[in-house]
Chains A and B, each alone.
Chain A
Amino acid sequence: MSETLLCFKNVSKSYYGNTVLSDICFEVSAGEIHALIGENGAGKSTLMNILFGMSVIHSTGGYEGDVIIDGKKTFIKTPFEALDAGVGMVHQEFMLIPGFTITENIKLNREITTPNIASRVLGKRLETLDMVKMDADARKALDTLSMDIEEFTLVEGLPVGHKQFIEIAREIDKTGIKILVFDEPTAVLTESEAQNLLAAMRRLAQTGIGILFISHRLDEIIDVADRVTVLRDGQLVKTMNTKDTDVVEIAQLMIGREVTITPVQTDAKKISDEVMLSVKDLHVGMPGEMVRGIDLEVRRGEIVGIGGLAGQGKLGIANGIMGTYPSTGEVVFNGNPLALNDPRATLASGIAFVSEDRKGVGLLLNESIELNIAFTAMQVNGHFLSSLAGWNLRNDREIRENAERMIKDLDIRCSSSLQSTGSLSGGNQQKVCVARALTQKPQFLFVSEPTRGIDIGAKKLILDLLLRLSEEYGMTIVMTSSELAELRSICNRIVIICDGRVEGILPPDASDAEFGLMMSGSRGLTKNADLEPVH
């Protein structure tokens, strides 16, 4: 391969003392498609934020190491400087204006104008648009991608695949683009659209553009990339030629063995054969986390983990059953059918929920800890109320007692039970959420992303707490998490969700490769018989 276009040299970054990238070194050559792969939180987005000079990097103290673009050491401070340096990005969420034509979108804020009388007096902004030239340019960019759609079509109502191509057309229409970053471009595409996109990427690479391809679809990486770099926990694990590797190895490297939290499986608890919750053909309309037909059975006393990559629908399951997003399907709880889309009924039936959206759904941020803890039990179960002449009044004494017990039990660090939850740290907020769920005295608990945004010490505490609930009180728990390691540390079995469906169910001690392949939905790519899921 020829000259190096982009080179990361010893790039490190930490947020508030928390290292998220350390010593990253790799390069992208001209005409190369370089794949970047890693689990959520492996540091891919931080790396891209550095490359594009996003303000989140500079407002948190910049980064260490060098980014070398086209042989020149470059320090990019804003996304516009990135553009000037010849780095373009095809966004995962489209930056397209629906009411504009394709041409107008491709030329957004880069319109070709011709001067007129008014503009000579009052400035460049009054120059007339030259639609003919703009159309011609747009046509050229579309032709490069062999798209035969008319450039004057409105973007609104176009299929997703087309929108993706328009994004790309906009990037290649920018003059002097050298490096193009594709951030999970195929995540929203159908299979045939994805094939077209990969073909287009190859054509672009042939013109001498260096492509950085972020994806979690292993088959695509093997298919299209020249080299692949694997990131894990902010470290660069390995850069390999795709010729010399296969999906199993990449999957293995991607997951790795997490050492921070050791599995603490005990045989003390008893899992009965009784099915406590059975889900049939569940569909949930949660934007970005669509569930497209899931069957699942949870036995009494079990801890079931739900894993999978972001955006695949794992978060939608708990939200759908709890009624925070519209859902269809058949859910039977304790032998009784459960009404969907009715959060109150679900809560009243003895299911509690610790939401992944702590600040949005989980807490009343301006209210006190004690009220937050008592809130659901008070609203749904009618606890903490005293009746006075037909009026239900809040029983503050009971609320306080309960809160103080919870604060002690769960070790919530706060000045008093009257402190507002908005001023607590993430870990303590999470504990308040758990306390609220426990106050409901549920038989069944949904916990979503319990350790998101929490430091490692608090993480361990939360996980231990869940384990204790299961072992001491026999509570049945379904835990959804992006962090496979924590699922493996406490769950009895782990359901992997891919593309809104159950991809497979694994025991916590299954191999890294099995998890990796299943999460990226590329199980079918290996003929290895012993990699079949174990039920």
Chain B
Amino acid sequence: MMTDANNMLDAKNAHELNKNSGLKAIGSWALEYIVTIIFVLFVLLGFAVSKDVSLNYFFSELNSRVFRNAFLVLSLIIPVLAGLGLNFGIVIGAMSGQTAVAIARYYGLGGVSALLLCSVMSFFFAGLCGYFTGKLYNKTRGQEMIASLIVGYFANGIYQFLFLFVVGVIIKVPATHPMIKPDGIGIRMTVDLMPVNKGGLKYALDNVYKIPFMHALLILALAILLVLAIRYWQNIRRGHAHKNRPMTFAFNILMCLVIAGISAHAIITKSSLMMIPKVPVVTGLLIIGLCFFTEWIMKTKLGQDFRSVGQSQHIAEVSGINVDRTRIIATMISTILASWGQLIYLQNMGTLNTYNAHTQIGLFSVAALLVGGASTSRASIKNALFGTILFNAMFIMSPEIGKSLFGQPALGEYFRTFMVYGVIGLALGLYVWKANKKNKIVIE
């Protein structure tokens, strides 16, 4: 909840600067992050009404979900910055990833090396698909989001054709293979990916190295502390002291210290918090690596072009930037990252839900990003990570709320769906509303 608090602090700073518009500033801040606020309140409500959710259960659930999904959500950032909006088309990346996994599974490959091979294969599949999706987005300028949603469904049709018909009818496969349907045509609904120690892909990445949750938290808190300090110092050294916000900085440092303190305490006293399952280090490092990659690419010429194109295609065009190409590159990067995100997701799930695993990926990832405070034109790593945590917290809490308020966990399931679509609808509506407000004609 750090980001949230930061934003609140920023709003407070603004309040001090301009006392007259203080209330207004808080109002507009609340409007800006209305989605985030609703979710925080929802999760807090969950804790308030349901008695049998232990912190341990909550964290262990959250833990596995966040590691599973964060990569996918992060893959959405670049298209947003490049002005393509929310790329629902990452489902195409997910399908590419699944195709690679299906191939590896068919030939009985397993372990980290097989996963590496999958990532190389999906790089090419997703790259190619991303190229064509990007071309499509250039043709449907201004309607990229709806185009991405529809192209996802279209690709799903091709995917099903490939997996249900081509495999078996055109490409001959033995009907005895465990992932092929008994009649020898098409791939089964669910394919077991086999545990990694039995030569499969399940946990191939997660099980490489694991450390206790609290240790990870301690290390993470200290690492963030270090990064913050270095950035603060670098800003001063480069003469960008204006970028430093002392209040925010102090608050972040405090938060890190508190988290580090709690973790250290738990480790020393071996409290019940140590019972939370261990975290996969390599997966974590990959997610952190993607964060750094996104940061880095936005600091290159290409990243600057993404931002230019995202802000104004017209001005970018007349300044000589190849707008179409830049948008295609952004789509390709996003699709490839999504395919890798799906690999991480699948190796954690351990089963390939052949025809369903990818269908919700687009909607859920987009919703998670929006929950983190992003909009169709603005997204950051903070938004993605915070959103993933909060969105999954909602997922864990909603059956609990359903259970304790209505006596039926199933009602909580309805909540989930309602919240996912509601969030997307609200965010899109707010975006249009804000744009209209901005363009409102004034009489002089």
Q: Identify the A interface with B (CB < 8 A).
A: 79-80, 95-100, 104, 108-109, 111, 113, 118-119, 124-129, 131-132, 150, 152, 283-287, 290, 292, 325-328, 500
7 A-B pairs within 8 Å (CB atoms) are namely A96-B315, A97-B315, A108-B319, A109-B305, A111-B301, A131-B238, A327-B443
Most buried by A among B299, B320, B321: B320
Separation in Å of the B247 CB from the closest CB of chain A?
20
Inter-chain contacts of A132 with B (CB < 8 A): 238-239
Most buried by B among A109, A127, A129: A109
Inter-chain contacts of A108 with B (CB < 8 A): 308, 315-316, 319
Check if A129 sits within 8 Å of B304, measured CB to CB.
yes
Measured in the bound complex, the distance between the Cα atoms of B441 and A290 in whole Å is 10
Inter-chain contacts of B303 with A (CB < 8 A): 129
Q: A129-B299, A283-B443 are in contact. Are A100 and B307 (CB under 8 A)?
A: yes
Separation in Å of the A321 CB from the closest CB of chain B?
14
Measured in the bound complex, the distance between the Cα atoms of B235 and A132 in whole Å is 11
Check if A95 sits within 8 Å of B240, measured CB to CB.
no
Check if B318 sits within 8 Å of A152, measured CB to CB.
no
Q: A109-B319, A327-B443, A328-B443 are in contact. Are A100 and B311 (CB under 8 A)?
A: yes
Count how many chain B residues have C-beta atoms less than 8 Å from C-beta atoms of the other chain.
27
Closest B residue by C-beta to A80: B320
B312 within 8 A of A: yes
Taking A125-B300, A127-B301 as known contacts, 9 extra A-B pairs with beta carbons closer than 8 A to each other, sorted by chain A number, are A79-B318, A100-B308, A108-B308, A113-B301, A126-B300, A126-B302, A132-B238, A152-B240, A285-B444
Q: Identify the B interface with A (CB < 8 A).
A: 238-240, 242-243, 297, 299-305, 307-308, 311-312, 315-316, 318-321, 441-444
Check if B441 sits within 8 Å of A285, measured CB to CB.
yes
Closest A residue by C-beta to B441: A285
Inter-chain contacts of A325 with B (CB < 8 A): 441
Inter-chain contacts of B442 with A (CB < 8 A): 285
Separation in Å of the B14 CB from the closest CB of chain A?
13
Most buried by B among A99, A127, A292: A99
Inter-chain contacts of A113 with B (CB < 8 A): 300-301
Q: Choose from A99, A109, A152, A326 the contact partner of B242 (Cβ within 8 Å).
A: A152
Inter-chain contacts of A327 with B (CB < 8 A): 443
Inter-chain contacts of A127 with B (CB < 8 A): 300-301
Q: What total of A-B pairs shows CB separation below 8 Å?
A: 75
Inter-chain contacts of B316 with A (CB < 8 A): 108-109
Separation in Å of the A443 CB from the closest CB of chain B?
28
Inter-chain contacts of B302 with A (CB < 8 A): 125-126
Going nearest first, the 8 A-B pairs with the smallest beta carbon separation are A285-B443, A109-B319, A285-B441, A97-B311, A125-B302, A283-B443, A108-B319, A99-B311
Closest B residue by C-beta to A126: B300
Check if A128 sits within 8 Å of B299, measured CB to CB.
yes
Closest B residue by C-beta to A98: B311
Inter-chain contacts of A96 with B (CB < 8 A): 315
Check if A150 sits within 8 Å of B441, measured CB to CB.
no
Q: A152-B240, A285-B442 are in contact. Are A97 and B300 (CB under 8 A)?
A: no
Separation in Å of the B443 CB from the closest CB of chain A?
4
Measured in the bound complex, the distance between the Cα atoms of B303 and A150 in whole Å is 23
Check if A124 sits within 8 Å of B301, measured CB to CB.
yes
Q: A283-B443, A285-B441 are in contact. Are A109 and B308 (CB under 8 A)?
A: yes
Q: A108-B308, A113-B300, A119-B300 are in contact. Are A95 and B315 (CB under 8 A)?
A: yes
Measured in the bound complex, the distance between the Cα atoms of B55 and A13 in whole Å is 78
Closest B residue by C-beta to A132: B238
Inter-chain contacts of B239 with A (CB < 8 A): 132
Q: A96-B315, A126-B301 are in contact. Are A284 and B443 (CB under 8 A)?
A: yes
Closest A residue by C-beta to B303: A129
Closest B residue by C-beta to A325: B441
Separation in Å of the B321 CB from the closest CB of chain A?
5
Closest A residue by C-beta to B312: A97
Check if B444 sits within 8 Å of A500, measured CB to CB.
yes
Closest B residue by C-beta to A99: B311
Inter-chain contacts of A284 with B (CB < 8 A): 443
Inter-chain contacts of A119 with B (CB < 8 A): 300
Check if A125 sits within 8 Å of B301, measured CB to CB.
yes
Measured in the bound complex, the distance between the Cα atoms of B441 and A482 in whole Å is 24
Measured in the bound complex, the distance between the Cα atoms of B441 and A98 in whole Å is 18
Measured in the bound complex, the distance between the Cα atoms of B239 and A284 in whole Å is 46
Q: A104-B304, A124-B301, A152-B240 are in contact. Are A109 and B443 (CB under 8 A)?
A: no
Inter-chain contacts of A129 with B (CB < 8 A): 299-301, 303-304
Measured in the bound complex, the distance between the Cα atoms of B302 and A325 in whole Å is 41
Check if B321 sits within 8 Å of A109, measured CB to CB.
yes
Measured in the bound complex, the distance between the Cα atoms of B441 and A125 in whole Å is 40
Q: A125-B301, A126-B300, A128-B299 are in contact. Are A326 and B443 (CB under 8 A)?
A: yes
Closest A residue by C-beta to B320: A109
Closest A residue by C-beta to B243: A152
Inter-chain contacts of A124 with B (CB < 8 A): 301
Inter-chain contacts of A104 with B (CB < 8 A): 304
Inter-chain contacts of A128 with B (CB < 8 A): 299-300
Inter-chain contacts of A126 with B (CB < 8 A): 297, 300-302
Inter-chain contacts of B311 with A (CB < 8 A): 97-100
Measured in the bound complex, the distance between the Cα atoms of B305 and A131 in whole Å is 15
Separation in Å of the B122 CB from the closest CB of chain A?
19
Inter-chain contacts of A99 with B (CB < 8 A): 307, 311
Check if B444 sits within 8 Å of A292, measured CB to CB.
yes
Measured in the bound complex, the distance between the Cα atoms of B321 and A79 in whole Å is 13
Separation in Å of the A312 CB from the closest CB of chain B?
13
Closest B residue by C-beta to A150: B242
Inter-chain contacts of B319 with A (CB < 8 A): 95, 108-109
Q: Choose from A109, A111, A131, A326 the contact partner of B441 (Cβ within 8 Å).
A: A326
Measured in the bound complex, the distance between the Cα atoms of B304 and A100 in whole Å is 10
Measured in the bound complex, the distance between the Cα atoms of B442 and A325 in whole Å is 10
Most buried by A among B300, B305, B320, B321: B300
Closest B residue by C-beta to A135: B239
Check if B304 sits within 8 Å of A111, measured CB to CB.
yes
Inter-chain contacts of B443 with A (CB < 8 A): 283-285, 326-328
Inter-chain contacts of B243 with A (CB < 8 A): 152
Measured in the bound complex, the distance between the Cα atoms of B442 and A126 in whole Å is 43
Most buried by B among A99, A108, A124: A108
Measured in the bound complex, the distance between the Cα atoms of B315 and A111 in whole Å is 15
Inter-chain contacts of A100 with B (CB < 8 A): 307-308, 311
Inter-chain contacts of B321 with A (CB < 8 A): 109
Measured in the bound complex, the distance between the Cα atoms of B318 and A95 in whole Å is 9
Separation in Å of the A243 CB from the closest CB of chain B?
38
Separation in Å of the B136 CB from the closest CB of chain A?
23
Inter-chain contacts of B240 with A (CB < 8 A): 152
Inter-chain contacts of B242 with A (CB < 8 A): 150, 152
Measured in the bound complex, the distance between the Cα atoms of B311 and A97 in whole Å is 7
Closest B residue by C-beta to A125: B302
Separation in Å of the B59 CB from the closest CB of chain A?
37
Measured in the bound complex, the distance between the Cα atoms of B157 and A212 in whole Å is 60
Separation in Å of the B82 CB from the closest CB of chain A?
13
Measured in the bound complex, the distance between the Cα atoms of B301 and A104 in whole Å is 11
Most buried by B among A129, A284, A328: A129
Separation in Å of the B318 CB from the closest CB of chain A?
6
Measured in the bound complex, the distance between the Cα atoms of B441 and A284 in whole Å is 10
Check if A283 sits within 8 Å of B301, measured CB to CB.
no
Measured in the bound complex, the distance between the Cα atoms of B297 and A132 in whole Å is 18
Measured in the bound complex, the distance between the Cα atoms of B237 and A131 in whole Å is 13
Measured in the bound complex, the distance between the Cα atoms of B47 and A285 in whole Å is 52
Inter-chain contacts of B441 with A (CB < 8 A): 285-287, 325-326
Q: A113-B300, A129-B300 are in contact. Are A97 and B308 (CB under 8 A)?
A: yes
Measured in the bound complex, the distance between the Cα atoms of B318 and A108 in whole Å is 10
Measured in the bound complex, the distance between the Cα atoms of B439 and A285 in whole Å is 12
Most buried by B among A111, A327, A500: A111
Measured in the bound complex, the distance between the Cα atoms of B355 and A209 in whole Å is 67
Closest A residue by C-beta to B319: A109
Measured in the bound complex, the distance between the Cα atoms of B302 and A31 in whole Å is 38
Q: A129-B304, A152-B242 are in contact. Are A290 and B444 (CB under 8 A)?
A: yes
